[in-house]
Amino acid sequence: MINRDEHKSFFMIDPAIVEDNKKSYAIQESYKETYGLDTLGINPSIVHRNLSPTVLIEKAIRNGEGILTDTGALAVTTGKFTGRSPHDKYIVDTDGVHDLISWGDVNHPISRAVFNALKDEMCQFLSGKEIFIFDGYAGADPQHRRKFRIINELPSQNLFIRDLLIRPTSSEKENFGEADYTILVAPGYKCNAKRYGINSEAAIIIDYEAHFAIIAGSQYSGEIKKTVFSIMNFAMPLEENVLPMHCSANMDPETGDTAIFFGLSGTGKTTLSADPNRDLIGDDEHGWSDRGVFNFEGGCYAKCIDLDKAKEPEIYHAIHFGSVLENVVTDDEHVPDYSDRSLTENTRVGYPIDFIPNASENGRGGIPKVVLFLTADAFGVFPPISKLTRNAAIYHFVTGFTAKLAGTERGIKEPQPTFSTLFGEPFMPLRTERYAEMFGERLDTYGTQVYLVNTGWSGGAFGTGSRIKLAYTRAMVTAAINGDLEHAEYIHDDRFNLEIPLNIEGVPPEIMIPKNTWADPEAYEKQADELAEMFIENFEKKYPDMPAEIAAAGPKGK
């Protein structure tokens, strides 16, 4: 329990805000209506809807869910689940969606009967409890947004999703109406895996036709965020002709020139897009319509491991009152230790996007001028940056090569090479061809330039080589965005079918050709051949129906 004397910073805020929060608290506590939860079979002791951060934080601390750090951020631990649990994720298989879904190792089918049984048990579990609702939006472009209702067992998770989604104005709250999608979240409910034929006590299930999702057994809040993303990735292409993207985005505040950064967790999307010289549109999830790029979210979810004030000042300073730290260890004075890995490598912080000083006011940008694919190559054989042709861009968009970094998923202890379709395979439910066609159409229409950026290793594989310096990567990204690379001298890499620039201001020229950084050139050749073969085998296995010209734009065999 945290008392007021120990954390005076918690209460050192504008008295008018405190008074407003007290009124909000009193009004909420006096409500007895269930906001429709009774129709789900939930008979709560009390229901709170769209509470302020102050009240949610106070309730979370009273519940023993977390503590306040020295900066005022709420620090929580998530127990057994410190990352996403992909083997516990399911899609309800119905006639209406069956032919649309890319079934396989990622998208697992489950019957509606099992889904409904689990949902009913969750509702019974939540009856008699204090329930927290957040009604908000996904989609910063009003023309394409969707309304979401998130029903939480825990106030700390309700604060998290309040931070991450788009918060409605006062008038929007009053006129919110029925949600387009509902997500029921109860980490305290543990599934009976044997009874229902699922993998564990956790279950993350989406019923696209019913517009309903459940998240049971896991307190890792990233599951909520990614469930929203998976829903948008299903709805946007089918209903809006919007390409959903697992990417960050920023733009020039003067010209409006927009750049987007694709990549899996830990490859640098958040870090590289948080450029003090550009406006941040968003750090993870976006749509590309004929009007431009728009953020799906109203917040950011950044990795904290080894967070450094000097290297990532925007993220570092965003960790204050209203933000939520996950699994970050603190000392006796409640000071976070961002280097502590004792709970997980996947330490995180969620915060509203306006905690970043240069965040875009409306979460929207123009048609992307530049696309950057970020890959953390654990083999150490990819060039730091390379220019892609149109077909090569589609190839690498589909392939999504990177290293799966430690802690992002349960059981991952060190980087592992992986191919994640569309740089976000776990969240892209539709068939790959649909997304690839939409991407290709946009490249053809707008002439957007695409670059592949290796934020991983150089001079050897993981364990032998070293991670490419962030300062070098920033210089390469800047050169791509400002157009310098349009006029650079290139050399063609036959094995990987890539165009490599030879000189970039601020980057040592010797690191541009990977082979030159290895002490043993023969070892490089062997490792590079192995990776090229992995690309070929992966593409032939996963994308046999992709056009031949796309397959030919990828790496070559020996």
Annotation marks residue 269 as catalytic:
yes
* Residue of 48, 145, 246, 404 with catalytic role: 246
Q: How far apart are CA 11 and CA 203, in angstroms?
A: 38
Question: 243 by DSSP, 3-state: which?
Answer: strand
Which listed residue (82, 258, 270, 455) is catalytic?
270
The 10 Å Cβ neighbour count of residue 87 is 16
Q: How far is 272 from 270, CA to CA, in rounded Å?
A: 6
Q: Are 284 and 310 in contact (CB under 8 A)?
A: no
Question: Is 284 tagged catalytic?
Answer: yes
Cβ 299 vs Cβ 411: under 8 Å: no
Is 270 known to be catalytic?
Answer: yes
Backbone phi, then psi, for 354, in 5-degree steps?
Answer: -75, 0
Does residue 87 carry a catalytic annotation? no
Position 106: which residue type? V
Phi, psi of 156 (to 5 degrees): -65, -40
Which tokens hold the place of 138? 């996904």
Say which of 48, 162, 348, 410 is annotated catalytic.
348
Mark 104-122 as b/e (b = at least 16 C-beta within 10 Å): eebbbebeeebbeebbebb
Is position 348 annotated as part of the catalytic site?
yes
| Alpha carbons 185 and 215: distance in angstroms, whole number | 5
Catalytic residue, candidates 49, 225, 226, 387: 226
Q: Which one of the listed residues 49, 59, 84, 404 is annotated catalytic? A: 84
Instruction: Choose the catalytic residue: 88, 283, 284, 493.
Output: 284
145 is catalytic: no
Cβ-contact 122, 128 below 8 angstroms: no
Type of residue numbered 396: H
User: Tokens standing for 554?
Assistant: 């990828």
**What Cα–Cα distance (Å) separates residue 134 from each residue in 17, 150, 156, 305, 385?**
20, 5, 12, 29, 42
Distance of CA 538 to the CA centre of its chain: 24
265 is catalytic: yes
Q: Are 221 and 249 in contact (CB under 8 A)?
A: no
Closest CA to 288 of 359, 230, 238, 240: 240
Among residues 218, 265, 375, 455, the one annotated as catalytic is 265
Give every strand in the sheet of 212-216, ordered side by side. Answer: 46-49, 130-138, 146-152, 181-186, 212-216, 203-207, 89-92, 108-110
**Catalytic residue numbers, as ranges:** 84, 226, 246, 265, 269-270, 284, 348
